[in-house]
Amino acid sequence: MKESIGDRIFKAITVMIVVFVAVCCLLPFLYIIAVSFSDKNAVLRNEVFLWPVHYDLTAYQSIFRNQSLVRSMWFTIVITIIYTLISILITVLCAYPLSRPHLKLKKPLLIYVLFTMYFSGGMIPEYVNIKNLGLLDTAWALILPGCLSTYNMILVKSFFQNIPREVEESASIDGANDLVILVRIVLPLSKAMLATIALFYAVSRWNGFMDSLLYVTKESMYTLQVRLRQLIQSSQVTEFMEDIPQNKEKVIAETIKAACMVFSMIPVMVLYPWLQKYFVKGVMIGSVKG
């Protein structure tokens, strides 16, 4: 069918809006990268916009020479991997039974789970609970409290419901139980969805810092985002620069802050292209059926 003039105008307006939003999201990102790679004099003269002026890697050299920052990076990577694996396991084990049509008390259980998505105990009760469980100043305080997302569980549940029942019934006839069906049939067919929620969980843990501020007091267990928050404060940047006297005259606070922001985004930028092909596919398939 030939598109009408109204449809063409609507598509053109939609494309312009999407391009405008994309540019608004991309410009700050490019500016931060440009500042991190620019000479301090160019930054002081406000000559940097979207492209580095007088390339200078001193800020990144300073970051990699700061042992506490590098240690926080590796600690955050390990925590994120463990958190993502446990979260996927718990999400699958919660979503699969709720996707079965003959599960007893399915509706009350689903309402009970959905209730937690809209209501929570609050910050103080959560802190008291973590303290009573003996999880303060441990890595588990950053892993266990948020390892199940109700939203992600609903997506996985919907995805499981879309898998043809005939495939599972044929396996049941051959003598397979629910665990065998889940491991050998359902999960291999759910790679797109699992990759999608893995990205959701990994990014949420990587960007999280509030729980680290509340539950951790040991500096050796600070996540990278907490370190970044500290460095954004001018006093912390001054202390950071005092630790690198050989580069102190070559950098300023703005270049250090920009380089730290880019440094914290490296793992996500490396991971996302590998999972991008599953991202839209997994979300769309999982949202077709409730």
- pLDDT tens for each residue of 114-126: 888 888 778 888 8
Would you list the domain boundaries of the chain? 5-44, 59-286
Q: Mean pLDDT across the stretch 178-200?
A: 85
Distances (CA, A) of 55 to 60, 65, 112, 254: 12, 19, 56, 15
Question: Where does the pLDDT of residue 21 fall: very low under 50, low under 70, confident under 90, or very high at 90 and above?
Answer: very high
More confidently predicted of 235 and 176: 176
Question: Where does the pLDDT of residue 289 fall: very low under 50, low under 70, confident under 90, or very high at 90 and above?
Answer: very low
Say if residues 158 and 96 touch (Cβ distance below 8 Å). Answer: no
Burial class of residue 206 in the structure, from the number of CB atoms within 10 Å of its CB (0-12 exposed, 13-18 middle, 19+ buried):
buried
Model confidence at 243: pLDDT above 60:
no
Model confidence at 247: pLDDT above 60:
no
Say if residues 159 and 286 touch (Cβ distance below 8 Å). Answer: yes
Residues 6+ apart with CB under 8 A from 260: 63, 69, 227, 228, 231
Burial class of residue 196 in the structure, from the number of CB atoms within 10 Å of its CB (0-12 exposed, 13-18 middle, 19+ buried):
buried
pLDDT value for 190:
85
User: What distance lies between CA 147 and its chain's CA centroid?
Assistant: 12
Token pair 């880019």: residue: 262
Domain 59-286: give its CATH code. Answer: 1.10.3720.10
Question: Where does the pLDDT of residue 14 fall: very low under 50, low under 70, confident under 90, or very high at 90 and above?
Answer: very high
* Cα–Cα dist 278/202, whole Å: 15
Question: Where does the pLDDT of residue 1 fall: very low under 50, low under 70, confident under 90, or very high at 90 and above?
Answer: low
pLDDT value for 288:
46
Model confidence at 19: pLDDT above 90:
yes
pLDDT value for 101:
81
pLDDT value for 237:
63
Token pair 């939609």: residue: 14
Say if residues 264 and 228 touch (Cβ distance below 8 Å). Answer: yes
Q: What is the mean pLDDT of the chain?
A: 82
Computed on alpha carbons and rounded to an integer, the radius of gyration of the chain in Å comes to 24
The model's pLDDT over 133-160, given as tens digits with 9 standing for 90+, comes to 998 889 899 998 888 888 889 989 988 8
* Cα–Cα dist 32/50, whole Å: 8
* Cα–Cα dist 154/49, whole Å: 43
3-state SS, residue 216: coil
Question: Where does the pLDDT of residue 63 fall: very low under 50, low under 70, confident under 90, or very high at 90 and above?
Answer: confident
